[in-house]
């Protein structure tokens, strides 16, 4: 008990506000940049307006795009709110509205899921409670009563811990047989042979294994290395090189820059003053020794609950049977980053129960190329599209049709195998976020083995397998 009280008092100790001011400005700037990118590249139209159908998260089917030009106005508002946060203008209100508006965009399309968008939601929620506007802000200029050169230590602790969880759980997820054998890294660096100078040696198994083990070690050990002062600068430099390399090779948007910005928070809280030669901060007040006030107790409860949730949520994949990279169950929201490469082919067969008449529906005829590339290997999305196809059939005067899915998937270069039980009527399957699906065929093929195609006798599956072979000519086996 005494130990926990000492920890809580440390979380309430005064610390320099400079790091939080820096992060408020950089966070706002990065999010303004991201909103501008959506306008510049036409992503608003392609992702939210043009598609006939949007995949939503279980329980959030009611979240739909704004009509007309509403999505353009929404992203404009997002950019303005991000700029207000940058400037520290109406900070609390802007932070709340930004969190809600960004979460709304996130929930619109499951195919647009990215780990760094999930991280933005978590960070933007934390920023609601972080008093990063008490210095170098419009609010502090207009309201002298809120000005301060110090804040409690818990906001900086929470931001550091949140990023630490991202690195650590990404490392835990890499402790699997595929990663140890250099997959999917080998498949990603294939095709880099055209890069000048290094292209001749970059495409090889030794490099893939080296990069895989390096990434594993970096994720597992960078958090403690950042916390320990003697290793902090080397760890930061290695992480910066890592993120810049990812930015050049994989083109993953704002994530590298966002990660570098958060990682700088591991340095001493006053580093922005020393680097940019701002005025010296006023002397820090004494640490609180009196009994905790009500606001302090509320802050400590918030930190405790938040950290507990961030410990527990990424553990979900370990409570499901099977390989999460294959089943996709609990894969999201668990910091399982860049762990799988899938090649898929899928079709739906509808059956009229009254006449046993069958007809095929190709997902490519309904979805955009981006949607199709994401959903074909993800059972939950396959179920959701099956429900939509069933609704379309009902609207066309063919109610109660059975919807069956035939899919072959290659994971990390394996030979393709069926993903789903084709006998299951997916129109009757309830979408769920927590319960496992019973129609997923277990992954049985190791990387070192080939698949016995003779086990497939169903005509629909045989036809689909031939289509897979024609689509993926380079061959599925490692």
What pTM did the predictor assign? 0.92
> Does pLDDT of 376 surpass 50?
yes
What average pLDDT does this structure show over 103-120?
95
> Comparing 306 with 287, which gets the higher pLDDT?
306
Residue percentage of the chain with pLDDT more than 70: 88
What pLDDT is attached to residue 337?
A: 86
What average pLDDT does this structure show over 165-181?
95
What pLDDT is attached to residue 153?
A: 95
What pLDDT is attached to residue 380?
A: 94
Q: ω before 237 within 30° of 0 (cis)?
A: no
List, as one string, the DSSP characters of 18-69. Answer: HHHHHHHHHHHHHHHHHHHHHHHTTHHIIIIIS-S-----TT-TT--PPSTT
> Does pLDDT of 205 surpass 90?
no
What pLDDT is attached to residue 235?
A: 97
Mind listing the pLDDT tens digit for each residue in 155-164? 999 999 999 9
- CA angle at residue 76 from 71 to 78, to 5 degrees? 95
- Round to whole Å and give the CA distance between 351 and 358: 5
Q: Helix or strand or coil: residue 240?
A: helix
What pLDDT is attached to residue 209?
A: 87
* Exposed/middle/buried for residue 409 (C-beta within 10 Å: 0-12, 13-18, 19+): buried
* Exposed/middle/buried for residue 452 (C-beta within 10 Å: 0-12, 13-18, 19+): exposed
What pLDDT is attached to residue 168?
A: 97
What pLDDT is attached to residue 203?
A: 57
> With contact defined as beta carbons under 8 Å apart, do 412 and 339 qualify?
no
Mind listing the pLDDT tens digit for each residue in 254-298? 889 999 999 999 999 999 998 887 766 667 666 666 667 888 889
> Does pLDDT of 453 surpass 90?
no
The pairing of strands 342-351 and 402-411 is antiparallel
- Round to whole Å and give the CA distance between 187 and 223: 28
> Does pLDDT of 475 surpass 50?
no
Taking alpha carbons only, the member of 349, 331, 347, 348 closest to residue 339 is: 331
Q: What is the DSSP letter of 149?
A: S
> Does pLDDT of 2 surpass 70?
no
What average pLDDT does this structure show over 406-426?
92
Mind listing the pLDDT tens digit for each residue in 47-87? 999 999 999 999 999 999 999 999 999 999 999 999 999 99
> With contact defined as beta carbons under 8 Å apart, do 330 and 380 qualify?
no
- Round to whole Å and give the CA distance between 228 and 128: 28
What pLDDT is attached to residue 232?
A: 97
Mind listing the pLDDT tens digit for each residue in 17-26? 999 999 999 9
Q: Helix or strand or coil: residue 117?
A: helix
pLDDT, the chain, mean = 89
């Amino acid at each position: 008990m005494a130990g926990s009280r000492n920890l809580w008092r440390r979380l309430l100790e005064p610390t320099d506000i400079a790091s939080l001011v820096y992060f408020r400005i950089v966070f706002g700037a990065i999010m303004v940049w991201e909103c501008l990118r959506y306008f510049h590249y036409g992503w608003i139209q392609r992702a939210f307006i043009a598609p006939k159908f949007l995949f939503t998260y279980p329980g959030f089917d009611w979240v739909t795009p704004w009509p007309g030009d509403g999505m353009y106005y929404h992203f404009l508002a997002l950019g303005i709110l991000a700029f207000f946060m940058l400037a520290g203008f109406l900070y609390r209100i802007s932070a709340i509205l930004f969190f809600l508006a960004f979460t709304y965009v996130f929930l619109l399309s499951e195919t647009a899921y990215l780990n760094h968008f999930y991280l933005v939601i978590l960070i933007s929620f934390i920023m609601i409670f972080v008093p990063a506007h008490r210095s170098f802000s419009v609010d502090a200029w207009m309201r002298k009563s809120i000005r301060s050169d110090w804040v409690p230590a818990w906001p900086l602790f929470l931001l550091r811990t949140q990023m630490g969880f991202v690195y650590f759980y990404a490392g835990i997820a890499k402790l699997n047989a595929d990663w140890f054998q250099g997959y999917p890294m080998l498949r990603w660096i294939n095709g880099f042979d055209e890069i000048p100078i290094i292209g001749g040696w970059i495409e090889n198994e030794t490099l893939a294994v080296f990069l895989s083990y390096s990434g594993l070690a970096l994720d597992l050990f960078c958090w403690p290395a950042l916390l320990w002062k003697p290793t902090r600068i080397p760890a930061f430099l290695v992480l910066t090189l890592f993120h810049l390399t990812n930015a050049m090779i994989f083109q993953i948007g704002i994530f590298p820059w966002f990660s570098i910005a958060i990682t700088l928070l591991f340095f001493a809280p006053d580093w922005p003053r020393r680097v940019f030669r701002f005025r010296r901060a006023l002397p820090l007040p004494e640490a609180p020794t009196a009994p905790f006030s009500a606001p302090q107790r509320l802050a400590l409860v918030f930190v405790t609950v938040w950290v507990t949730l961030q410990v527990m949520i990424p553990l979900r994949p370990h409570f499901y049977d099977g390989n999460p990279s294959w089943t996709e169950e609990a894969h999201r929201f668990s910091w399982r980053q860049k762990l799988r490469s899938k090649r898929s082919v899928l079709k739906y067969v509808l059956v009229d129960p009254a006449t046993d008449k069958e007809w095929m529906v190709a997902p490519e005829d309904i979805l955009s190329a981006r949607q199709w590339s994401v959903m074909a290997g993800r059972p939950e999305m396959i179920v959701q599209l099956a429900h939509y196809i069933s609704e379309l059939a009902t609207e066309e005067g063919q109610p109660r049709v059975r919807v069956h899915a035939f899919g072959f998937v290659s994971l990390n270069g394996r030979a393709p195998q069926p993903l789903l039980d084709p006998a299951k009527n997916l129109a009757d399957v309830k979408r769920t976020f927590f319960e496992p699906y019973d129609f997923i065929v277990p992954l049985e093929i190791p990387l070192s083995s080939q698949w016995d195609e003779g086990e497939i006798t169903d005509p629909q599956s045989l036809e689909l397998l031939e289509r897979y072979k024609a689509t993926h000519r380079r061959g599925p086996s490692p």
